[in-house]
Structure 1
Amino acid sequence: MFLNDGFAASSPSARGTVRLLGAHISGQLNCRGARLENTAGPALNADNLRVDQDVLLSNGFTASSASEQGTVRLLGAHIGSLSAGGARLTNTAGPVLDGDVLRVDRDVALDDGFTATSTSEWGTIGLAGAHIGGILACGGARLENTIGPALDLNSVRVDQDVLLDDGFDAISGGDEVAVLALAGARIAGGLRFDTDRMTRTAPGPGPLIELDGLTYSGLPRPASLPGWLTLLREHTPRYSAQPYQHLAAAYRAVGHDRDARTVLIAQRRDQIQRAGLTVAERAWGRLIGITLGYGYQPWRALLMLLATLALAVTLSVIGGHHGGLAQKPVTSAAAGCTTIDQIGVGLDLGTPLLRTGARDRCQPTDAAAGQILIIAGWILQLLAWSFATLFIAGFTSAVRKT
């Protein structure tokens, strides 16, 4: 079916300018270079259309509408492929492409200068629940919505790659609405995604992307790991563990275990910040973060235990040199402890269960330095036991990591 090479049609009908509901075309639907307009309904109304080969909306194809139904409607359609490179679609009251539950056997190309502008709560491009058997390519596209998402890919299924880079430009003016919706999307191939030109025009903060439930193969590109963590932490509508867990699994799958741990630590920090935990839960989480890296870096507690030990030895030596330690029995003429004994007392104070025997020979005096050592010893013992316990708990994964 050929509606191309300068074909033009306009209508004020709510039923559609070109109406192909339930039609079956065994070859192509070729609308290259066509111009369709409608002031009250869809420009192309093709719900449940079946096209065995290609739907071509490229080479200067333009369509405009002022209808909540959408400019181009392909709800429930089943087509071979969709090529809309360079097309220009507008709608002042609804989406420009409504393709919910659309089934495409091969590729969907909304690239090479594809431009879409709408005013719709449901998204400029709506492909929620669609199944694309090939690639979804939006490189170089420009999508704009004054009140809703620029691209709605919630629950979409793509059997190959999703390309949202190479100059992909998405703009939304909606309050608390993500510019790009990818919740529950399943991508069997890779995800190439560039946020440099993704913006919000609404005043105040708001999310750029909804990712909860998104799955993909391999590592997302081209953003770096810090860039992805910033996106997950600062530009999503709420805390969700799944995007972090999937990203960590992707890094682990390619052997980047350190990066995987970095992702999981970032997840715990975001959970503490945005997950609505109680004050006690946040305090415990921050303590575990400082001492154990949320269970992924137990060596932190070991370093703190060693620091406690060094502090205990230092205090014992300094206190001993200022009359804080004396050999037993304590008398007015009692001799001061040797430096070795002072170090031994420090080791006894700074490590749990370790006994050097130095405290059997030396004990704190009644002098000010001796009393300080007694009080410091209580605190150091508490710290030593705490850090030792935390290290064992972290090393044995007894501390909950997620």
Structure 2
Amino acid sequence: MADLPDDLTPAEVRVWEAYRNGTQCAFGAVAGPQASDWPTPRGRFGADWGPERTVRAEVLSRLLLGAAESVPGRMPALDLVGARITGNLHLRGARVDAYVALRGCHFDGRVTLNDATTSTIRLMGCSVEAVRGRRARVDGDLCLTNCRIRHGINLVDAQVATDLVLHGSRIFPMDDGRSINADGLELNRDLSAHGPFHATGTVSLRSARIGGRVTFFRARIDARPGLDSRGFRHLALDGASMYVEQTLHLSDHFAATGSIRLNDARFGDAIVIDQAEILRDPDEALAMWRVTARTLSLVIAPDPQGRILMSGSQFGALTDTPDTWPDAGRIAIGGMTYTVLRSTRPMTLDQRLTWLAHATPEYEPQPYEQLATAYRASGQDEEARSVLLAKQRRNRETLRPAGRIWGHIQDAAIGYGYRPARALSWLVALIAIGTVAFSIDRPTPIKADEAPHWNAFFYTVDLLLPVVTFGQEAAWNPGGWAQWVAYTLIILGWILAGAAAAGATRVLNRA
């Protein structure tokens, strides 16, 4: 046995020799994730373990910083099971090449990796005061699974070469209210936090760059109580300006108490918010201003009470349900674009128009134009025209009285150009009325010897169509009540012509 430091306890000697041999050192009954005394969110797991399984954090630091040479032919490794670690594990600025795996251990203090460079680190089923890794570089995985972390995780500006894994961990907040602060994190592969992962306090990923996926399956995040300066519930998840190469999943009964912010974030593939229990409080918000993603799937628990804010976002495909959207005044989609619109359950045109009305308490044309474009792209031209007609009717509400009157006339006559058959119906009806009226009360000829043969049908057409003449109107002079019919037909003809011209111009300009 190599010379050992004089101050080591028997438990520490075991750890020292196991490190040099690259073998596991297990204390007590805890030997894996199925052990009966694995940590839970309750109590202080491991705090009362005795000296037979107690190791000073200082001893672990000395080992990881090269105080013990490995046995020839062996790679050193800190593979420790079921130990109580006293003090703080300080590795600030260190370079740690050894593999580190701690299972079922209790840390009295914190683990500090600020500015350190390490290989893979795995804490599995451990109870830790806090994890601090500002500007740390991990050349492998960083796994904190099934852990109980009493004062949060700080990975600001850290770099992780492969995955950050947080499955099943229970994380409590730091003094600033965040359970995880990973702003500026650079991660080459996936960030995953699967249930029963539970964080109390904001999970902050602002400006993080993730090379793979971000997955929160069956996970729960609870923001601290109260409202922020804008009147929203404090944030559960803050991913503002983050970049994810692949997909963000908040799925499979993901639950959040508090708001979710993804403003200015970019996603190379999709955002999947599916079977998610969010927006259960009126003061909560899903804020996704100016987000870019190939696909957004938004399927949340029915009857959301919070706000969904997506102004300026760009999606290739948008998938929702009739229950996705909150009531009027709690939706903002101005400037949001999408190419394809899908629904997991069929949504009628009326439901879509109600969605737009709720999203635009004050009239905005763009959401209507965007929905019409999506309908047209899918070959639903009739639905597209109906949306544009609804847009004109909403716009009419903003006009002065004269404009509203003219709008009602255009709507009744030709549906603002989107119901051209309506103009034909009006024309046929008026021609029929005029033909019958002038057949009953025939006008007298202006010049009896020059008048063309009388025809009540073509006389009516002459009156109705301002730019068409069959020689009847100029040759015959109605009298009595028939004169009033003639004047009415002339006026209605001009109105129809004006409405048709305005509608045609609108439709052609759009085309």
Compute the TM-score of the two structures, normalised by the length of structure 2.
0.61
Residue matched to 2:124: 5
1:280 CA drift (Å): 5.2
1:204-353 matched pairs, under 5 angstroms: 207-216=329-338, 218-222=340-344, 224=347, 226=349, 227-235=351-359, 239-272=363-396, 284-317=406-439, 320=440, 324-328=441-445, 341-353=455-467
Residue matched to 2:165: 56
1:157 CA drift (Å): 0.9
SS at match of 1:171: coil
Give the whole-Å Cα distance in 2 for the aligned partners of 1:205 and 1:390.
Answer: 35
Give the whole-Å Cα distance in 2 for the aligned partners of 1:215 and 1:105.
Answer: 25
Percent identity between matched residues is 24
Q: Which amino acid in the other structure matches residue 460 of structure 2? A: G
Asked whether the 8 Å contact 1:44–1:72 carries over to 2, the reply is yes
Residue matched to 1:127: 239
Asked whether the 8 Å contact 1:84–1:110 carries over to 2, the reply is yes
Asked whether the 8 Å contact 1:182–1:211 carries over to 2, the reply is no
1:195 CA drift (Å): 5.0
Structure 1 pair 302–374 and aligned structure 2 pair: CA distance change class (3 A): same
Residue matched to 2:150: 37
Give the whole-Å Cα distance in 2 for the aligned partners of 1:362 and 1:396.
Answer: 35
1:391 CA drift (Å): 1.7
Q: Which amino acid in the other structure matches residue 353 of structure 1? A: V
Give the whole-Å Cα distance in 2 for the aligned partners of 1:181 and 1:280.
Answer: 40
Give the whole-Å Cα distance in 1 for the aligned partners of 2:239 and 2:404.
Answer: 39
Give the whole-Å Cα distance in 2 for the aligned partners of 1:229 and 1:68.
Answer: 43
2:274 aligned with 1:173, yes or no?
no
Q: Which amino acid in the other structure matches residue 200 of structure 2? A: T
Structure 1 pair 249–361 and aligned structure 2 pair: CA distance change class (3 A): closer
Q: After the TM superposition, which of the residue ranges 239-248 and 136-145 deviates more from structure 2?
A: 239-248
2:500 aligned with 1:391, yes or no?
yes
Give the whole-Å Cα distance in 2 for the aligned partners of 1:81 and 1:144.
Answer: 21
* 1:250-292 deviation digits (Å, cap 9, x = unpaired): 443444434433444444445555xx65555555555544444
Structure 2, unaligned runs of 5 or more: 1-119, 308-325, 448-452
Give the whole-Å Cα distance in 1 for the aligned partners of 2:140 and 2:209.
Answer: 16
1:380 to 482, 489, 509: 489
* 1:79-100 deviation digits (Å, cap 9, x = unpaired): 1221112222223xxxx21212
Structure 1 pair 397–97 and aligned structure 2 pair: CA distance change class (3 A): same
1:159 CA drift (Å): 0.8
Structure 1 pair 354–190 and aligned structure 2 pair: CA distance change class (3 A): same
Asked whether the 8 Å contact 2:327–2:358 carries over to 1, the reply is no
Residue matched to 1:101: 207
Structure 1 pair 353–217 and aligned structure 2 pair: CA distance change class (3 A): closer
2:265 aligned with 1:190, yes or no?
no
Q: Which amino acid in the other structure matches residue 78 of structure 1? A: E
SS at match of 1:192: strand
2:144 aligned with 1:22, yes or no?
no
Structure 1, unaligned runs of 5 or more: 11-16, 331-337
Asked whether the 8 Å contact 2:328–2:358 carries over to 1, the reply is no
Give the whole-Å Cα distance in 1 for the aligned partners of 2:375 and 2:487.
Answer: 45
Asked whether the 8 Å contact 1:108–1:135 carries over to 2, the reply is yes
Compute the TM-score of the two structures, normalised by the length of structure 1.
0.75
Give the whole-Å Cα distance in 2 for the aligned partners of 1:145 and 1:9.
Answer: 24
Give the whole-Å Cα distance in 2 for the aligned partners of 1:207 and 1:143.
Answer: 24
1:66 CA drift (Å): 7.0
Higher relative CO (CA 8 A, sep ≥ 6), structure 1 or 2? 1
Cα RMSD of the aligned pairs, angstroms, is 3.5
* 1:303-344 deviation digits (Å, cap 9, x = unpaired): 333333333334334xx2xxx4354479xxxxxxx9x74434
More strand by share: 2
Residue matched to 2:21: none
Give the whole-Å Cα distance in 2 for the aligned partners of 1:325 and 1:346.
Answer: 12
Asked whether the 8 Å contact 1:101–1:131 carries over to 2, the reply is yes
Structure 1 pair 37–158 and aligned structure 2 pair: CA distance change class (3 A): same
